[in-house]
Chains A and B, each alone.
Chain A
């Protein structure tokens, strides 16, 4: 499988502080990938490393198989929408499109103008007077009109109101549908992503806690509740992600490829939201040994 982002032992240090440390991630091509994590997890650093705005302090990162930002051609292959979608406030919308045309050899003038037209933006309006939603749309139009092979967006909707978020996501889905490019977008809220993503990466403290197709992730996890039991009594093929206990009852969120057979349990499906929060709040790499191995007798 070809990878959009292939990071190995990646780190970025500012002075003594590590913004990202020993991060390894393999994000496949041809998906709409949601990168979720709490603030400070290193999402922005990882994405800036991926577009070549930063150089790694340690480790390596390849984007579409090449070093990020190594030359003009590689810069042209990756479209980027930065956090808070910065634009030049004193330049008009039309001037931004001219900038795009001048600085990108593969620029698609027709696409850019059509998008601006569809959004109802006045080409002569200064970008500084656009609303947050319009500015985000302009930034998206600039990023896609350079005809990149993949699009990377860093919390593009974080500062937008719910309506503008939906509009932005609709635009993004149109792009994906018509151009079929790989997309990686980050957010600290899963709610921003679950409607648009088909692949999810959860990043906590520089580490990938969870990665996979959204549908697989949802189907491979379930929430078990039943009479109180100790975690060590669960079968080894059920990875415990989260557990909570009352006096009489226990609830576990488990990852398992196999069906649940124990009749004492009530198994319920999990939402993506539950799943992400469980992984985000999970202590790092729990090691449990000596748990029973159950065999299905048929």
Chain B
């Protein structure tokens, strides 16, 4: 069954594997030069406060040095969509196409039980999906290492090099999380195909559910995988977004992921409007609302995940997605075992 799965898989995987290999080659060719740019920049000899400036200079220059911005964005885009593509084009047809083209009657009447047929198909294709995503995400993480270091030093103000490791997109394209996404998307596609029994509708359902998961998890689930920390700080003009009084950085916690923040007035009520007394302070002296608000008794409350929780959050999210993938696989076994014809 392993050989037969490979025979069928080979037909449909060659184009995708070629595209992946091409991208890895691009990373391999441009990566060493990126590393040498980093090594020869002012970051190498920086200490204390000069590091942020050096990192800012490095990233500003990189943002206008072809091909780094485009490879950076292409890479993260590719890692974000690969699990979805796997789910849609390898998961959804796995069972649905056998039913649609009636070949299940051929496949399931060979001298091999259906459970074994499905186990081999799921395991081989699923592991291949995870391996492909792992190669992609690891090579990209290696390639982007100088950039993430510079962002970590506080130099990330120029697009596209802005987000820290815990920001939604960077988190989803680094570490081991993409493996979890790939396993989940593949199993989701397969289960959708087994339940709907038609390839194209199963593909559409896979796309919708996976997209919804990718949007809601960073917004709703990831912030609470570990109970977030809270902090009440003094108002610091440099760390405040005056439009709605949210915090832009957590004082003393570089790289922390801010989940929510608000200003508290002297009575302790949350507010998003600049007090009238301080409104006049804007305009000419843009930085002065901070001291003004502080003098009125305002403080800033911040809910956040510290940067040190990157790996615990990665593991938890990946484990969650793998558990969902196993549940989906279980659904496939149940459905196929009930003889879908």
CB within 8 Å of B: which residues of A?
48, 51-55, 69, 71-73, 75-76, 78-80, 82-84, 86-91, 95, 98-100, 102-106, 139, 142, 146
In the complex, the number of residue pairs spanning A and B with C-beta atoms less than 8 Å apart equals 82
Structural contact, B11 and A103, CB atoms closer than 8 A: no
Bound CA span A146–B3, Å: 18
Structural contact, A95 and B7, CB atoms closer than 8 A: yes
Tell me whether A89 and B109 are in contact in the complex, defined as CB-CB below 8 angstroms, given that A54-B339, A102-B1 are known contacts: no
Bound CA span A196–B111, Å: 27
Would you call B108 an interface residue if the criterion is a C-beta within 8 Å of the partner chain's C-beta atoms?
yes
Bound CA span A26–B115, Å: 30
Structural contact, B102 and A75, CB atoms closer than 8 A: no
Tell me whether A75 and B106 are in contact in the complex, defined as CB-CB below 8 angstroms, given that A48-B341, A88-B8, A103-B1 are known contacts: no
Structural contact, B8 and A103, CB atoms closer than 8 A: no
Bound CA span A95–B108, Å: 17
Tell me whether A72 and B102 are in contact in the complex, defined as CB-CB below 8 angstroms, given that A53-B341, A88-B8 are known contacts: no
Would you call B110 an interface residue if the criterion is a C-beta within 8 Å of the partner chain's C-beta atoms?
yes
Task: Give the number of residues in B that approach A within 8 Å (Cβ atoms).
Answer: 23
Tell me whether A98 and B7 are in contact in the complex, defined as CB-CB below 8 angstroms, given that A103-B1, A146-B111 are known contacts: yes
User: 10 extra interchain contacts, Cβ-Cβ under 8 A, other than A72-B112, A72-B113, A104-B110?
Assistant: A51-B109, A55-B339, A69-B108, A69-B114, A75-B109, A82-B109, A86-B101, A99-B110, A103-B4, A146-B110
Structural contact, B113 and A71, CB atoms closer than 8 A: yes
A55's partner among B3, B111, B116, B338 (CB-CB below 8 A) is B338
Bound CA span A75–B105, Å: 12
Residues in A neighbouring B1, C-beta threshold 8 A: 102-103
Q: Please give me the residue from chain B that is nearest to A54 by CB atom.
A: B339
Residues in B neighbouring A105, C-beta threshold 8 A: 111
Structural contact, B341 and A54, CB atoms closer than 8 A: yes
Residues in B neighbouring A89, C-beta threshold 8 A: 101
Bound CA span A69–B103, Å: 17
Structural contact, B112 and A103, CB atoms closer than 8 A: yes
Top 6 A-B residue pairs of the complex, sorted by shortest distance between their CB atoms: A82-B105, A76-B111, A103-B110, A80-B109, A86-B102, A104-B111
Would you call B104 an interface residue if the criterion is a C-beta within 8 Å of the partner chain's C-beta atoms?
yes
Q: Hey, what's the 0/1 contact readout for B109-136 against A, CB within 8 Å counting as 1?
A: 1111110100000000000000000000
Chain A nearest CB from B42 CB (Å) reads: 57
